Structure 1
Amino acid sequence: MLQLALLAFLASFICYFVQWTFGQPMIDQPICVGLVAGLIFGDVTTGIIIGAAMEAIFIGNVNVGGATSAEPVTGTVMAVCFVTHMGMDQGAAITLATAVAIFANIIYSLIFNVLMSFWAPLIDWAADTGETKNVFIVHFGGALVMNAAMAIPTFLGVYFGAEPVANLVNVIPAAVTNGFNAAAGLLPAVGMALLLRMLWNNKTAIYFLLGFVLVSYLGMPMVGVAAIGAVVVVVTAYREMDLMDLRNKIKSLRETGVAAGTLSKAEVEEEDFFA
């Protein structure tokens, strides 16, 4: 189990380190974490599938400053580990991983917001010395310490939990497993609902209705819906650019004191419309 726990630690550490050291490229999102964990555990397909399922759950999860709601890296890595090496059913692993992600957020907050505050004096010292080498050492040294600390819960979860999970898999009744699968199927709907709470307004509602009609009544695959969505975005962007140019033109004419009578009829109508 030690080797398996070390692999889980490595997967979490890579995701944390790249995310917080190289400009936050969003590698800590479940779909990316699933890929990294799949590569390390030797089953890329399973890693991507679980990562995509977890992404649907946490797609509306946004952590701002000290206000955090979930920490999906630990949950996703553990889910991939339990499915690929413990033989756990995918639905049960995803359901368990969701609870782990919420619980791990407490540890994440303590490490990120409390423990690393003690690193601040070293940062001040490196800045005061004016030496690039000292800044480099403190920066990457702090990154190693912080991200290693954040990956420790994943290590402990796999090290102490892998064997009990393996034993539990053999005694779980089929009815319980089916219940986990049903719960896992509902969790993405919860994630989408959280996302809609932030995005929903009267102007965008029509686009959600369009997507629903395309999928439910026309049977269009998600890739096709995404392609249509991309076209709508481009068309809307061009329209907004044209309107912005028109507003800027009218504003410029007003600032230069051009009388409305010197404008064409169409331009006067446009000015009255946007006034």
Structure 2
Amino acid sequence: MNLFIQALIVALITWYVATALPMFLRWSFYFGAPLVAGLVNGIIFGDIAYGLKVGATIQMAYLGMVAVGGALPSEMAISGYLGTALAMSVKLPPEAALTVAIPLGALGLLCQNAKMTLNAIWVHKADKYAKEGNIRGVKLMNLYGSQVFPFLTYFIPTFVAIYIGSKGLDKLLTVVPNSVIQALKVTGGLIPALGIGMLLSYLWQKEVVPYFIIGFFLVAYLKLDIMFIAIIGGCLATIYIFNTSKKEEAIDD
């Protein structure tokens, strides 16, 4: 698959996830964009294992992200799908990929703000059609008109960034000293720690602290596989939920 087709597919996915995806799918495909993008871009670029490593590393930076009143600290579709694709196109180490994805996510808020502002045009037109009793016009404005500006603000920048930007980034990396790449890896390695810290600030309760400590020692000292730890953690979480539910039922009775 050549770069043009890869850029076209990623740009279409980024636009669709950011603006046209049904709401019930946004929790996974949008808020979990880097992780999902790791699999999707892994298939597109022909290296699923590498894609998952890049996506999982980027996702860790957003573990503590909270959307309040629709306001986001980062554009997840841009950071996830475009950031992962750019990193994979030039074979950046997963840790260094964060230094590409995080700034892209911040810049991506410009796309979101432009979409929210310009789409007011179609809202007013829909209101006009509603007053006239034109149901078809209202549907057209909401289903199709509302996607005109998002297509321009998401699809085109993403396509250009991958098709042209990856070539420029690849040339840049050929002249960048290896020490700089290593520094980016170290810096990128600190960002997931920040994401985990943000998440713990919301979840840190005395009832769950022992589980956190158990998981840490299982990984740090017993060197157990992360998938095994995830399965054990899922089982412990299920047991905790069941026990908590039983206590609440007993109190109600």
Query: Which TM-score bucket, shorter chain as reference?
Result: 0.7 to 0.9
The whole-number CA distance in structure 1 between the counterparts of 2:239 and 2:23 is: 37
Q: 2:221 aligns with which of 200, 211, 217?
A: 217
C-alpha contact (below 8 Å) 2:57/2:95 kept by paired residues: no
17-26 or 206-215: which moved more? 17-26
Change (3 A) 1:124 1:203: farther
Letter in 1 for 2:123: A
Percent identity among equivalent residues? Answer: 26
The whole-number CA distance in structure 2 between the counterparts of 1:228 and 1:91 is: 27
Residue of structure 1 in register with 2:17 after alignment: 15
Q: 1:76 aligns with which of 69, 77, 80?
A: 80
Structure number with greater Rg is 1
Give the superposed CA RMSD: 2.8
Residue of structure 1 in register with 2:117 after alignment: 114
Letter in 2 for 1:39: I
Query: How far 1:55 moved relative to its partner?
Result: 0.9
C-alpha contact (below 8 Å) 1:18/1:27 kept by paired residues: no
Change (3 A) 1:21 1:228: closer
Q: Once the two structures are superposed, what CA deviation does each residue of 1:181-228 show, in whole Å capped at 9, x if it has no partner?
A: 222222211211121122223333222122222222333322222222
Aligned to 1:59, what secondary structure does the other structure show? Answer: coil
Change (3 A) 1:21 1:72: closer
Query: How far 1:27 moved relative to its partner?
Result: 0.6
Alignment of 1:193-208 (within 5 A): 193-208=197-212
Gapped runs of 5+ residues in structure 2? Answer: none
Gapped runs of 5+ residues in structure 1? Answer: 250-275
Q: 1:31 aligns with which of 35, 39, 46?
A: 35
The whole-number CA distance in structure 1 between the counterparts of 2:94 and 2:238 is: 38
Aligned to 2:55, what secondary structure does the other structure show? Answer: helix
Residue of structure 2 in register with 1:259 after alignment: none
The whole-number CA distance in structure 2 between the counterparts of 1:134 and 1:22 is: 25
Change (3 A) 1:201 1:45: same
Change (3 A) 1:140 1:33: farther
Letter in 2 for 1:138: M
Query: How far 1:16 moved relative to its partner?
Result: 2.1
Aligned to 1:186, what secondary structure does the other structure show? Answer: helix
If the length of structure 2 is used for normalisation, what is the TM-score?
Answer: 0.81
The whole-number CA distance in structure 2 between the counterparts of 1:238 and 1:45 is: 35
